[in-house]
Amino acid sequence: MGPSASGASQRTLGFIGGTGPEGRGLALRFAKAGERVLIGSRSASRAEEAAAGLLKTLPGVDVGGAINEDVARQADIAIVTVPYEAHRSTLESLAEHLAGKIVVDVVAPLSFDKGIASAVSVDEGSAAMQAQATLGRSRVVGAFQSISAQDLLVPDRPVDSDVVVCADDAEAKKIIMGLAEQIDGVRAVDGGGLQNARYVESFTALLLNINRIYRAHSTIKIGGV
Ligand SMILES: NC(=O)c1ccc[n+]([C@@H]2O[C@H](COP(=O)([O-])OP(=O)(O)OC[C@H]3O[C@@H](n4cnc5c(N)ncnc54)[C@H](OP(=O)(O)O)[C@@H]3O)[C@@H](O)[C@H]2O)c1
């Protein structure tokens, strides 16, 4: 990893399941900040299509697309943006390639009944804890679970939110807090250990239900720090 012309390091951020709105939204923001970004998919053509879409929005950014396995292999930092239903199986299949790497878990395990969101109970305690249990040799960080894709996908609009970052690995947490603050408008807040990721994941259900009431995009702001 060395410095690029933009000042960002030459690390590669790889999105596992990056073709959905959340993966594309985060990829857009990080590419805009000068990061090298790879969009992952189960299908090479869907990945390339998503990368082409980002390039159309932001010409000249460093973005590519590949199947998840290749993205996991090439990434310095992997960012997991698959639906919760696919979380464990996807990570199990990529564990070898993700060993030793920072893995950022964005997944919020939720269910919906008549449009009302609820947090889903996870045996390990949270999606992030499940990731760490599945990826014993990776450095798992929980972050971005409450940042709306709709906000991320408008590149010129600041995202007026805190991002609470939880990890047991202090260095990995610091790196991802720095990454979060590359998104215009975002403040990173140290959320403590990975066991606290469960609260951020489940809070996302409340934000979605508030969005329904106010027809808005609510965000997290931690006062007093
Ligand atoms: N959307 C939001 O605003 C938002 C906000 C905060 C957090 N999140 C979290 O971010 C994650 C992604 O959200 P999203 O809305 O982008 O999700 P999504 O569109 O439903 O899924 C993202 C991608 O995951 C892949 N995928 C779907 N089913 C899969 C399966 N069975 N196995 C492997 N890959 C599968 C698909 O890519 P391919 O078909 O190309 O492989 C899909 O494009 C979720 O866990 C969500 O909780 C979302």
pLDDT of residue 3: 43
Residue 109 lies in a domain: yes
Ligand 1 closest atom vs CA 108: 47
- Give the total number of structural domains in the chain: 1
> CB of 11 closer than 6 A to ligand 1?
no
- Tell me, yes or no, whether 178 lies in a domain: yes
Domain that includes residue 165, residue range = 12-214
Average pLDDT taken over every residue of the chain: 95
Q: What is the pLDDT of residue 9?
A: 55
**34 within domain boundaries:** yes
Please give, one letter per residue, the 3-state secondary structure of the chain: CCECCCCCECCEEEEECCCCHHHHHHHHHHHHCCCEEEEEECCHHHHHHHHHHHHHHCCCCCEEEEEHHHHHHHCCEEEECCCHHHHHHHHHHHHHHHCCCEEEECCCCEEEECCEEEECCCCCCCHHHHHHHHCCCCEEEECCCCCCHHHHCCCCCCCCEEEEEEECCHHHHHHHHHHHCCCCCEEEEECCCHHHHHHHHHHHHHHHHHHHHHCCCCCCCCCCC
* Under 8 Å between Cβ of 66 and 44: yes
Low pLDDT (below 50) residues in the chain: 1-8
Q: Residue 92 and residue 112: Cα distance in Å, rounded?
A: 26
Q: 5 lies in a domain?
A: no
Residue 196 domain-assigned (yes or no) = yes
In a domain, 224, yes or no: no
pLDDT score at 7: 46
Does a structural domain hold residue 99?
Answer: yes
Using a pLDDT cut of 90, give the percent of the chain over it: 96
**Full-model pTM:** 0.96
pLDDT, residue 6, reads 47
Minimal-distance CA residue to ligand 1 atom 48: 22
Q: Please tell me the residue having the least CA distance from ligand 1 atom 25.
A: 17
User: Is residue 182 in some structural domain?
Assistant: yes
Q: Calculate how far, in angstroms, residue 107's C-alpha sits from the geometric centre of ligand 1.
A: 8
What are the pLDDT digits (tens) for 135-162?
Answer: 999 999 999 999 999 999 999 999 999 9
Q: Give the CATH number for residue 147.
A: 3.40.50.720
Decide whether any atom of ligand 1 lies within 6 Å of the 43 Cβ. Answer: yes
Q: Is 67 in the pocket of ligand 1 (CB under 6 A)?
A: no
